[in-house]
Each structure stands twice: as C-alpha cells, then as structure tokens.
Chain A
Amino acid sequence: MAGTVARPHYAETTRRAVASSIGRTVAYVMLIVLAVAVIYPLVWMFLNGFKSNAELFGDPWGLPTTWRWGNFVKAWDLGVVRYLMNSVIVTGASVVTTVLVSALAAYALTRHRIPFAGAITVLLLGGMMLAPTVALIPLFRLLRAIGIFDTYLALIVLYTAFRVSFTVFLIRAYMITLSREMEDAAIVDGANRWQIFWLVIMPLSRPIIVSAALLQALFAWNEFVFALVFINSGDLKTLPVGLLAMQGRVLSDWPVLFAALTIASIPMILLFLAGQRQFIRGLSEGFGK
C-alpha cells in the first residue's frame, strides 16, 4: 500500500529534480551572460585607455600591444587631477554639512518634544518631493544675488539643501530605535544636550551615519545639473562636468579620454566595494520602509 503511493510520487520528484536542474543551468547561463554584458563595457573602457589611436580604430576589441601608461599621465595633466580635486572638496564638504545638519535635526525630532514638530516634519517630507531641475532657474538668480555663483560654496550649499530631507529621515528612523538608558545615565552624570549628542547619540548612531555619508558621497560625486549650470570657471569644475569639457579638449585622441574615464571611475567603485554593506543598509533603510 505504501509502495503504490510512493512510486508515482518518487517518479514525480525525479522528473522535477531533472526539470529543476535544467532550469538552474539555464538561469546560471543567463546570470553569467548578463554579468559579462554589464562588466565588458567597463573592461573595454579600461583597455582602450592603453591603446594608440591606430590600435583603437584597427582593433577595437583587442588588447593593447603595449601598456601605454602615458595616456593616463596625459589625461591626468589635461585636467583630471583638477576635476578630481574639485570633486573631493565639494563632496567631502557636503558630506560633512549634510550629515551634521541632518543628525542635529533628527536628534531634536526624535529625542525631544520640540515646538512645531509636526510642521517641521511636513516641511522636511515636502523637501524630498522637489527636484533640482524645478528650482534651477530661480536658483541661478538667487546665487548671483547672494554672490556665491561660480564657487564651491554654491554646490556645497545646494547639495546639502537638496539632500537634507532624505538624510534626516534616514537618520531619524535609526535614532528612534535607540534606548533612552544611556541618555538618562548621561543626564544623571550632569551632561548637557550638546555632550549627550556628541558622546552618546552620535557614537550609538554610527552605522546609519556611515550609510548616510556614503549615500551623500555618491550623490555629490555624480551630481551634474547644478555643477553644469552654477560653475563657469574651468578651474572649479567637478568631474561630471569637467570630463565633458575634456572631451572637447582631447579632440581625436580618444584613448586619452578612455584613460580619463577610467581614472574618474575608480574612486566611487573602490568606495562602493569597501562600504558595500553600509551602502545597501542605507538603501534599504531609505527606501525599504
């Protein structure tokens, strides 16, 4: 009796196991093909940075015959070093200001009962809905009027203002979960709010602060529209706009441009690989809730 039930069941499982292993193989092949399609253009970019123009046109798919590091040096000297430095300054400063301004606000909103808390929350929430493009033209006038057009400060201020909402909500969601015990202990020890913020809340919030800083760095490093419109001086351009300007300067020496693109890609790829877990935590806290 048990056997008659078991046999078709056994056959069914075998059939399924076979179907499943075929399905698995097909899926793996697709995953690998996709991975190659994603990575190959980047490898191509890297390899082309070492070619001569003749090689690039003669054999676009091939490996360079010699590794011409000179292209990278040339790209570096043609402006990449300048743009890289500008990007580091603007990104670094806006990460500090954004995280600080947001953490202060998140602390006040989560750990204290402040006047107008509801209205302030709505204001912050609304800030997430307003896109940089929509504010572009009035900002052009405003920045000229207050005299910071064509300065690092313009970008730092705007990168902070347009990201402060997202970052406050990101940090707030984490601070809400912190227990009050450490804070209460610090109050008993006579600490004031400023000390509590720096010595208790910020250290406890470290994981989300790191995530917030990484997401802000990613945003500021790649931001294009503000950097295009509000920076005129060639010396102040950040990478996304500077590379575009470089395209005109290298003329037909394309391998140098490939080298420039490769150099420009490296910092963010390294940052992502180093902080992958924090990146993904930030995304999941920011969008997953």
Chain B
Amino acid sequence: MASRLGRWPMLLWVAPAVLLLVVFVYYPVVENLRLSLFRWNAFSPVDVWVGLDNYSALTADPVFWSSLFNNIAYAVVSVIFQVGGGLVLAAVLEELVRGRLKGFFRTVYFVPAVLSLTITGLLFQFMYNPQIGLVNGFLDAVGLGAFKHSWLGESATAIWAIIAMSQWQSVGYVMVLFIVAMQRIPRELYEAAYIDGATRRQAFFRITVPLVREMTLLAMIITISGAFLVMNEVWVMTAGGPANSSHTLGTWLYKSAFFNDQMGYAAAIAVVIFVITLAASIVQLVINRGKTVQY
C-alpha cells in the first residue's frame, strides 16, 4: 500500500517538464493548425472562419513558392557542402593530422558555429559589400573581376550569397559530429586494411563511409530540417529582398504576420513548415531505432 502510494509523488518531479511542454510547445502547435483556418490580425482579434482560403492563397502566392524553392536550395547545398564536406574534412583530420595540430584545426573550423547568426550575417553583409567587401576584392585580386556582383543587392545572387555564408559557418559543426562518430571506429580495422595493401582512399570508402553511415543520415536530417527553418541570417542580411527574392518560409511567415498583418495566412505557412520538419524528424526517429551497425 505504502509502496503503491510511493510511486505517485515522483510524478511531481516530471511535472515541470511536462507542463512547460504541453503549454508552450504542444498547445501552440495544435492551436496553429486551427488558426490557419481563420482570417485575423494582431490588434483586432476577431477571428473570421475562412476554411481553407489561406491555403489556396498560399498556392497562388509567388513569394510562397520562391520561398519554398529557396529553402530547398538551402537544403541541397547544405547537404553537399556541410554533410559531404564535413565528412571529408573529418576523415582527413582523423587520418592525417596528429596531436596538437589536429586539435588546432578542429577548434578553428568549429569557432564560427558558436557565433550568433546575426553576428555572422552582419559580418558577411560587409564581406559582400561592393565597396569594402573582401569577396569582390578577392575576385579582383585573382583576376576574376568580371564576376563581381553586388551580391546581396541582386535578386539573382542574394539567396546564394546567404547560403554560402551558412556553409562557411556550419561546416565545422557537422565535421565535429563526424569526428565523434569516427573515433568510435576501432583502429585495428584500418591497420588490417593497410597491411592488406589498401590505400587511404580505399580505407575511406570501404571502412569510414560505411561505418559512419548513421551519422551521415542523422547529419543530413539535421541539416535538411534546419534548412527549412532558416530565418535569422536571411532577415539580417536582406530581410527577404531585393523584391522578395531571398525570402525563406520563415521570413515570409514573419513578414506576413507582423508586417502585412495576415496572421491566418502566416499560420498556414507555419503548417507547411510543420509538415516538412515533422517528416524529417520521423525519418530521424526511424533511423535511430534501426541502429544495427556493429563494429
């Protein structure tokens, strides 16, 4: 009797966590689904039921589609440079560099990842500046002056310039995730392979890549779902411009809600983001469950 009673008070220990989650995470996400079916604005909050109108407006909105395209571009480029680049970089560091120098490179590559995207965004605004920026200066210096652009000021280049900044900032982060995974691979596997005459490149493709497969998938999921939530650096560097060309779903949601005062419409954008990121998370969950690689 006493022991049965004894189990219930322990619920108090998880209560704060559960309460915070239910009130500030679950409730708003569910409420957002409902709000996407209404037309309303921030200061006269009389909700008008409009059914799926917000969603049909979405499909007719060219900025929604260009935002979605920009998120997809973000995801594709990030998977190539951050996941692909991070994997190669981690392997080169683990395989070739020893001791202090290894720690030095790892630290240097990781440093940008601890900085706020506002800091790096503002910094790269200057880097891309046509007058003082290092990017155009570098192109001039190596004789590629013909490729100079007002990178953030032109519709054709703005989003790509932002994406490039993001690669600079995050490749070190993904690299560290891979280093962690690689350090779990027993050295004997490599020693045995080298004794059998394998080259470094063969060892990379036959040992390293297969054995960090889960981390590769995990890093891809993190990178992809992160790419659909991008907002900070875009808002800082271009605020979606010029001519709405560099909006992502996140900035377009923010602008629709708090500048154009179309809260219901913004809620519908949030639902789209919700569906995409949820799908990514479910894939991640399945991968985590299906861990089978044995060393």
Most chain B beta carbons < 10 A, residue from A42, A116, A133: A133
Please pick, from A134, A139, A268, the residue contacting B274 in the complex, using a CB distance under 8 A.
A134
Closest chain A residue to B218, Cβ basis: A287
- Chain A, interface residues (CB within 8 Å), range: 35 or more
Question: Per-residue CB proximity of B91-124 to A under 8 Å, as 1/0?
Answer: 0110011000000010111111011111100111
Chain B residue contacts of A273, Cβ below 8 A:
107
Query: Are A35 and B108 also in contact (CB < 8 A) when A240-B118, A283-B177 are?
Result: yes
B119, A265: Cβ atoms under 8 Å? yes
Q: Does B31 contact A (CB under 8 A)?
A: yes
CB contacts under 8 Å to B, within A161-196, are: 161-162, 164-165, 168, 193
Q: Chain A's interface: helix, strand, loop or mixed, by majority? A: helix
Contact flag A130-B26 (CB < 8 Å), given A137-B267, A243-B118: yes
The answer, yes or no, to whether B48 is at the interface (CB within 8 Å) is: no
Let me know if B118 and A244 touch, CB within 8 A.
Answer: yes
Question: A135 touching B29 by the CB < 8 A rule?
Answer: yes
Indicate whether B242 reaches chain A with its CB closer than 8 angstroms. no
Q: Is B253 a contact of A136 with CB atoms below 8 Å?
A: yes
A199 at interface by CB-CB < 8 Å: no
A272 at the interface (CB under 8 A from B): yes
Q: Are A138 and B14 in contact (CB under 8 A)?
A: no
10 contacts between A and B (CB under 8 A): A123-B22, A129-B278, A142-B23, A142-B27, A157-B24, A162-B25, A224-B231, A240-B118, A247-B122, A268-B114
Q: Give chain B's interface residues, CB within 8 Å of chain A.
A: 7-8, 10-11, 13-14, 16-18, 20-29, 31-32, 35, 42, 45, 89, 92-93, 96-97, 105, 107-112, 114-119, 122-124, 126-127, 131-134, 137, 168, 172, 176-177, 180-181, 184, 199-200, 215, 218, 222, 225, 229, 231-232, 235-236, 250, 253-254, 257-258, 263, 266-267, 270-271, 273-274, 277-278, 281-282, 285, 288
